[in-house]
A and B are shown apart, each in its own frame.
Chain A
């Protein structure tokens, strides 16, 4: 198929960006979206032009590196997949595809379609961990965990931190990401010990970085490649409220 690509080009973080139109020909419906961009870049390099910069790593939907806001949707038109898992069969011959970087104040553009998502790392550093200072590996079933909690914690932990929730949210809110990280610990006994401190620190960091507030639009849930449930956001709100009301110390 032949396509017109309208791609955001920005030489550096400081430079002013703009859209550039590119034509690609004979793209197979079986090609992945990133392969299609590789084909474009090869042709740009052959012509001596600067290739389009975009993030990618594993190309199998588990690393969370790829991004791209395609025709108004993070990770493109299909549900529950990342950009690298999306195939060109989702598009029609002659279509114009608009490709933009994630847009959020805490996700500044580095170059073209690449954004700096280290603000997510900062949120994790603020409390998204369990402090364990012991040696040996504990026995697998020494701490009993209800099966339901184990399942919910696993669902929350499947978040790959790609930032699609922020990109999709009309407020550029990171609530789905942060709530998934809060939930995966809050649901397990090992995570309960630091739960009150964790939720307060992570939410404070999220606010400080300039992410928006949650309007409960649930665009995040609809666009999440791992289909993280917005019920995690309610859980974080509960955790936060009870921590503020009951914790001995404010963080």
Chain B
């Protein structure tokens, strides 16, 4: 831990960037599987995919890599933020407002709320899927745990949906800055390609946010 703290500012940011970009790849897979729930009233596609994710040995190993990615990103995020706060012990009376990336100012705030969301989200679904009892459903292809029904049941609760919507919007803001920022931290800055990276970063953030938002909203209002 001592050595980790002593990493230079740039090393810390590079590690955070790599972990962050890795987490986005997870979000995209997660989103792809979740969206299946909306396109199949028996939840067969989703339940088969969920079963695969829960049992495939490679995915099981990867799951721990993913946890590590989260932990690294969060711990470094906190370390970096604490150092940043201590770099200005006396605050300005009049706050500065210059910035070219608006959401960069709230990375720790959006990050903390997304982290709290993550814990609750975990308690809702992951713990239930791993250790709880889920009713089974039989299709022509076989018998699976009906995870789809658990999700639909959860998203019939109004305040829950509100919480998800808020947390997912904040995740979107976090990504909007995070994606393009990760490229800059990794040293990627190019007169032609950086504007493209920024546009793609924003589009990916919007895609992830709207995609995930669709699930609780469509379920709640249908």
Q: Does B186 contact A (CB under 8 A)?
A: yes
CB distance from B91 to the nearest CB of A (A): 7
Chain B, interface size category, equals 35 or more
Known: A105-B89, A203-B9. 15 other contacts (CB 8 A): A19-B93, A98-B93, A103-B88, A103-B91, A105-B86, A170-B105, A203-B10, A212-B83, A212-B84, A212-B87, A217-B99, A219-B100, A223-B98, A231-B194, A234-B187
Q: Are A213 and B13 in contact (CB under 8 A)?
A: yes
Q: Does A129 contact B (CB under 8 A)?
A: no
Task: Name B92's contact: one of A6, A100, A206, A211 (CB within 8 Å).
Answer: A100
Residue of B nearest to A212 (CB): B87
* Cα(A244)–Cα(B14), bound, Å: 12
* Cα(A217)–Cα(B86), bound, Å: 18
Q: Are A237 and B87 in contact (CB under 8 A)?
A: no
> Which residues of B from 181 to 200 have beta carbons under 8 Å from A?
181, 184-189, 191, 194
Q: Does B97 contact A (CB under 8 A)?
A: yes
Q: Are B8 and A240 in contact (CB under 8 A)?
A: yes
Contacts of A71 in B (CB 8 A): 94
Contacts of B181 in A (CB 8 A): 215-216
Task: Name B187's contact: one of A175, A215, A219, A237 (CB within 8 Å).
Answer: A237
Contacts of B100 in A (CB 8 A): 217-219, 221-222, 230
Residue of B nearest to A10 (CB): B90
Chain A, interface size category, equals 35 or more
Task: Name A171's contact: one of B11, B12, B88, B184 (CB within 8 Å).
Answer: B88
Q: How many A-B residue pairs have CB under 8 A?
A: 140
Contacts of A173 in B (CB 8 A): 9, 84, 87
> Which residues of B from 49 to 99 have beta carbons under 8 Å from A?
80, 83-84, 86-99
Task: Name A222's contact: one of B80, B98, B107 (CB within 8 Å).
Answer: B98
Q: Does A120 contact B (CB under 8 A)?
A: no
Task: Point out which of B9, B86, B184 has the most chain A C-beta atoms below 10 A from its C-beta.
Answer: B9
Q: Does B154 contact A (CB under 8 A)?
A: no
> Which residues of B from 171 to 218 have beta carbons under 8 Å from A?
177, 180-181, 184-189, 191, 194
Q: Does B42 contact A (CB under 8 A)?
A: no
Residue of A nearest to B182 (CB): A216
Residue of A nearest to B94 (CB): A72
* Cα(A206)–Cα(B11), bound, Å: 13
Q: Does B143 contact A (CB under 8 A)?
A: no
* Cα(A105)–Cα(B101), bound, Å: 24
CB distance from B180 to the nearest CB of A (A): 8
Q: Are A233 and B8 in contact (CB under 8 A)?
A: no
Contacts of B95 in A (CB 8 A): 72
* Cα(A6)–Cα(B84), bound, Å: 27
Residue of B nearest to A199 (CB): B10
Contacts of A13 in B (CB 8 A): none
* Cα(A222)–Cα(B105), bound, Å: 15
Contacts of B105 in A (CB 8 A): 170, 215, 217
Residue of A nearest to B104 (CB): A217
Q: List 23 A-B contacts (CB under 8 A).
A: A69-B92, A72-B97, A73-B97, A100-B92, A105-B89, A171-B84, A171-B88, A173-B87, A210-B86, A211-B9, A213-B13, A213-B80, A215-B104, A217-B105, A218-B99, A218-B101, A219-B96, A221-B100, A222-B100, A230-B100, A231-B191, A238-B188, A240-B10
Contacts of B93 in A (CB 8 A): 6, 8, 19, 98, 100
Q: Does A204 contact B (CB under 8 A)?
A: yes
Task: Point out which of A71, A222, A234 has the most chain B C-beta atoms below 10 A from its C-beta.
Answer: A234
Task: Point out which of A104, A175, A230, A237 has the most chain B C-beta atoms below 10 A from its C-beta.
Answer: A237
* Cα(A230)–Cα(B180), bound, Å: 13
Decide: A203 near B84, CB < 8 A? Known: A19-B93, A103-B91, A217-B100: no
Task: Name A207's contact: one of B8, B97, B184, B189 (CB within 8 Å).
Answer: B8
Residue of B nearest to A237 (CB): B187
Q: Does A172 contact B (CB under 8 A)?
A: yes
CB distance from B3 to the nearest CB of A (A): 13
Q: Which 7 A-B pairs have the closest CB atoms?
A: A234-B189, A238-B187, A212-B87, A171-B84, A218-B100, A237-B187, A72-B94
CB distance from A91 to the nearest CB of B (A): 14
Q: Does A241 contact B (CB under 8 A)?
A: yes
